[in-house]
Structure 1
Amino acid sequence: MKNTIYSINGPVVKLVKTNDFKMLEKVFVGPKKLMGEVISISDEETVIQVYETTEGLKLGDPVYPTDELVSVMLGPGLMGEIFDGILRPLSKIKAETGDFIEAGSDIPSLDLERLFDVDIKVKIGDYLGPGMVYATTQESKSITHRIMVPPLIEGIVKEVKTSGSYKVSDVILTLETKQGLKDLNLYQTWAIKTPRPVLERLEMNTPLLTGQRIIDTLFPIAKGGTAAIPGGFGTGKTMMQHQFAKWCDADIIVYIGCGERGNEMTQVLEEFSELVDPRTKETLMERTILIANTSNMPVAAREASIYTGLTIAEYYRDMGYDVAVMADSTSRWAEALREISARLEEMPAEEGFPSYLPSRISKFYERAGMMINLNRSTGSVSIIGAVSPQGSDFSEPVTQNTKRFVRAFWALDKQLAYQRHFAAVNWNLSYSEYMMDLSSWYDNQVDPKFLKYRMRILSLLAEENKLMEVVKLIGNDVLPDDQKVIIEIGRVIRLGFLQQNAFHAVDTYVPLSKQLKMMEVILHLFDESIKFIERGKAISLILKTHIYEKVIQMKYDISNDDLESFDKLKEAITETIENIY
Structure 2
Amino acid sequence: MTITGKIYGINGPVIYVKGDPGFKMSEMVYVGKDRLVGEVIALSRSQTIIQVYEETTGLKPGEEVIGSGDAISVTLAPGIIGNIFDGVQRPLSEIARHSGAFIDRGISVESLDSEKKWPTHMTVKDGDAVTGGTVIATVPETHALEHRIMIPPNLSGTIKNVVPDGDYTIHQVIATLTDYSGHEIPLTMVQHWPIRVPRPTRQRFPSDRPLITGQRILDTLFPIAKGGTAAVPGGFGTGKTMTQHQIAKWCDADLIIYIGCGERGNEMTQVLEDFSKLKDPRTGNSLMERTTLIANTSNMPVAAREASIYTGLTLAEYYRDMGYHVAIMADSTSRWAEALRELSGRLEEMPAEEGFPAYLASRLSAFYERAGFMETLNGMEGSVTIIGAVSPQGGDFSEPVTQNTKRFVRCFWGLDKSLAYARHFPAIHWLTSYSEYVRDLTPWYETHVGRDFIPCRTRILALLTKESELNEIVKLIGSDVLPDDQKLVLEIARVIRLGFLQQNAYHPSDTYVPLAKQLKMMETILYLYDKCEALIGLNMPMSLLREDRIFEEIISIKYNVGNDELDKFNEYHDNIDAFYQRLMDENA
**Amino acid in the other structure paired with 1:54:** T
Q: TM-score if structure 2 supplies the norm length?
A: 0.98
Instruction: Give the one of 23, 26, 29 matched to 1:24.
Output: 26
Q: Whole-Å Cα distance in 2 between the matches of residues 332 and 275 of structure 1?
A: 26
Tell me the distance in 1 between the aligned counterparts of 2:74 and 2:56. Answer: 22
- Identify the residue that residue 63 of structure 2 maps to in structure 1: 61
In the alignment, does 2:350 pair up with 1:329? no
Confirm or deny: 8 A CA contact 2:257 2:329 kept in the other structure. yes
Post-superposition Cα deviations, 1:543-573, rounded to whole Å, max 9, x if no partner, equal 1112111111111111111111111011102
Q: Among 299, 304, 321, which residue is 2:302 paired with?
A: 299
Between stretches 483-492 and 171-180, larger displacement belongs to: 171-180
User: Which residue does 1:424 correspond to in 2?
Assistant: 427
The CA distance in 1 between the partners of 2:209 and 2:267, in whole Å, is 31
| Corresponding position: 1:405 with 2:408 | yes
**Alpha-carbon distance, 1:408 to partner:** 0.3
In structure 2, the residue corresponding to 1:105 is in which secondary structure?
coil
Corresponding residue of 1:245 = 248
- 2:548, 2:209 → 1: CA distance? 42
RMSD: 1.0
Amino acid at match of 1:380: S
Most deviating of 76-85 and 11-20: 11-20
Instruction: Work out whether residues 4 and 21 of structure 2, in 8 Å CA contact, stay in contact via their aligned partners in 1.
Output: no
Shift of 1:422: 1.1
1:81 to 58, 83, 87: 83
Alpha-carbon distance in 2 for matches of 1:408, 1:216: 12
2:561 maps to what in 1? 558
Query: Does 2:257 align with 1:254?
Result: yes
The secondary structure found in structure 2 opposite 1:4 is strand
Q: Secondary structure at the match of 1:106?
A: coil
Return the alpha-carbon distance in structure 2 between the equivalents of residues 500 and 428 of structure 1. 18
The whole-number CA distance in structure 2 between the counterparts of 1:319 and 1:465 is 47
Q: What's 2:282 paired with?
A: 279
- 1:539: Cα distance to partner? 1.1
For 1:149 and 1:41, the matched residues in 2 are separated by 34
The one-letter amino acid of 1:476's match is: S
Q: Which residue of the other structure, out of 106, 116, 119, is the alignment partner of 1:117?
A: 119
The Cα shift of 1:578 comes to 2.1
Q: Which amino acid aligns with 1:281?
A: G
Separation in 1, partners of 2:489, 2:72: 58
Which moves more between the two structures, 62-71 or 173-182?
173-182
Equivalents in 2 of 1:104, 1:517: separation in Å? 58
Matched, 1:480 2:483: yes
SS at match of 1:110: coil
- Size of the aligned set, in residue pairs, is 581
| 402-411 or 1-10, larger mean C-alpha shift | 1-10
Q: CA deviation at 1:121?
A: 1.0
Q: 2:368 matched to which residue of 1?
A: 365
Amino acid at match of 1:49: Q
Offset, 1:442: 0.2
Q: 2:423, 2:302 → 1: CA distance? A: 33
Q: In the alignment, which residue of structure 1 is the partner of 2:8?
A: 6
**Matches of 2:576 and 2:93 in 1, distance apart?**
56
Corresponding position of 1:144 = 146
1:456 to 2:456 alignment: no
C-alpha separation in 1, matches of 2:484 and 2:4: 85
Q: In 2, distance between residues paired with 1:298 and 1:2?
A: 24
| Cα distance in 1, alignment partners of residues 19 and 49 from structure 2 | 11
Would you say 1:176 and 2:166 are equivalent positions?
Answer: no
Q: Tell me which residue corresponds to 1:469.
A: 472
- Once the two structures are superposed, the pairs formed by residues 212-227 of structure 1 within 5 Å of their partners are 212-227=215-230
The structural deviation recorded for 1:264 is 2.3
CA offsets 1:476-523 (integer angstroms, 9 cap, x no match): 000000000000001111111111111212111110011001101110
Cα deviation for residue 269 of structure 1 reads 2.2
Matching residue's letter, 1:536: N
1:75-126 deviation per Cα after TM superposition (whole angstroms, max 9, x unaligned): 0001111100000000111112101111111111110010100001111111
- Distance (whole Å) between structure 2 residues aligned to residue 36 and residue 264 of structure 1: 27
Q: Kindly provide the amino acid, as one letter, of the partner of residue 407 in structure 1.
A: R
Cα distance change on mapping 1:351 and 1:142 into 2, 3 Å: same
Which residue of structure 2 lines up, in the alignment, with residue 526 of structure 1?
529
CA distance in 1, matches of 2:570, 2:441: 27
Aligned residue runs from structure 1 range 204-219, under 5 A: 204-219=207-222
- Written as runs of structure 1 = structure 2, the 5 A alignment for 1:385-396 is 385-396=388-399
Residue 545 of structure 2 is aligned to residue 542 of structure 1: yes
* Residue identity opposite 2:135 in structure 1: V
Could you tell me which residue of structure 2 aligns to residue 311 of structure 1? 314
Task: Identify unmatched segments of 5+ residues in structure 1.
Answer: none
- Tell me if the contact between 2:4 and 2:67 (Cα under 8 Å) persists in the aligned partners: no
